[in-house]
Amino acid sequence: MLGFSVPDSFSPLPDAPQALAGLKVLELASPLGHYCGKMFAELGADVILVEPPGGAATRAFGPHIGGVPGATGGATHSLSFTYLNTSKRSITLDWTRPQGARLLRELVAGCDLFLECEKPGRLAALGCGYDALAAEHPALVMTSLTGYGQSGPYAAFEADDLAGIASGGFLYLGGYPDSPPVGAYGEQGYAGVSMFGAVASMLALTRAERSGQGDHVDVSMQECMVLAMENAVQFYDLEGTIRKRTAGRQRFAGTGVYACADGYVYMMAGGIGANRFWELTLQWLADDGVPGLERLRGEEWTRTEYLQSDEAKGIFMEVFGTWARGQSKARLYAEGQRRHVPVAAIQTPADLAASRQLAARGYFVEVSHPATDRPIRMPGAPYRLAATPWRLRNPAPTPGQDNDAVYGALGLGAERRAALAAEGVI
């Protein structure tokens, strides 16, 4: 029996209604939309995940529990699927077949939001495009999460996470100056399109609730990744400067990543926007008796051009960097906070798992899984709603575990469901 547990402190009002209680969502299984559906589910919406017979392809995505692909008791070993699909229900349906397409239309008719990630035109060819669905259900919000959107020369192109972050420019900024680009871990393209999709969907749902008029929300992963490039586009637009990869290299003396006794810290004490912290940093080093401090004094240290020079970076590394290697990141962080110098400890996964702050807020939640004798620990929500709380309601579903309940509600009796299953429709 799958189970889950949430710290008591996480949900101060266990019986409080959730923010999206009563909202009905249908989600066609895809890595582009899983996180979007999860956000709705854990704010109270009834999210039904539609998987092909046999289960979604994402159930095979690694990494896996114990390093072994497969499933135990129907529950996938995929850690990403286990995390991204909590609090949902699951049905199986081959909606590419005529009978399946008819069932899909019936399912959508009972929903407020339809999340899909298919190539533009594929659903419409089966009579399940927005125009056909909205004609029967005007208040429907249909959100299409795709690589490049519903229009344009790239619309029909394949797009996995890597293609999304590459075509959006985000990949170019990741990695080291002397090597090819390196993608950020965690499928940031999929996460980005899901998050923007959730926000846009809520706006459309709010309008639909007030006016009775739904909408077709078109979200492009490429465009979401362009927005993740910080000020790279503006640098080029205003200065003609192309931002480069800077990992492992100091942008300014006093600003960057520095090694310490038990890891690394990020410090911002010099350069554009940080000059006001320079004197505070020098006072800190003076109070700690740091050798060579006199090398950091002088009018040249107030000039951005000098702080960008290899000479300045080298001197600062010899003075501050040498001293920092004998300090713990906890002390550097605490002292920086006390002295109003921006210093951030770079946390490892182990640091986060042991964080007293995250523990105090009940951030991590636990979900049991039949493949392991200990709970799987995973992130909860990065926000708190006191009156209408976030809540992890159940583990990720097994494939089609809710077929009887969902199809039964459509009026399909046991014999009919059995026949459809035998035909491979559900």
pLDDT above 50: residue 67: yes
Residue 1: its pLDDT value, please? Answer: 37
pTM listed for this prediction: 0.91
353: pLDDT confidence band, cut at 50, 70 and 90? very high
Residues 44-67, mean pLDDT to the nearest whole number: 97
**Total residue length of the chain:** 426
pLDDT above 80: residue 4: no
Residue 275: its pLDDT value, please? Answer: 72
H or E segment to which residue 115 belongs: strand 113-116
Residues 401-415, mean pLDDT to the nearest whole number: 97
Please give the domain boundaries of the chain with CATH numbers for all domains.
Answer: 4-228+359-422 (3.40.50.10540), 255-350 (3.30.1540.10)
Work out the burial of residue 228: count CB atoms within 10 Å of its CB; fewer than 13 is exposed, 13-18 middle, 19 or more buried.
middle
Residue with tokens 């240290």: 301
Amino acid occupying residue 161: D
Mean confidence (pLDDT) of the chain:
94
3: pLDDT confidence band, cut at 50, 70 and 90? low
307-349 pLDDT, tens per residue?
999 999 999 999 999 999 999 999 999 999 999 999 999 999 9
C-alpha angle 125-133-192 in degrees, rounded to nearest 5: 85
CB 263 within 8 A of CB 344: no
DSSP 247: T
230: pLDDT confidence band, cut at 50, 70 and 90? confident
> Does the N-terminal peptide bond of residue 53 adopt cis geometry, omega within 30 degrees of 0?
no
Question: What share of the chain has pLDDT > 90, as a percent?
Answer: 87
Both tokens assigned to 408: 């039964």
Residue 247: its pLDDT value, please? Answer: 79
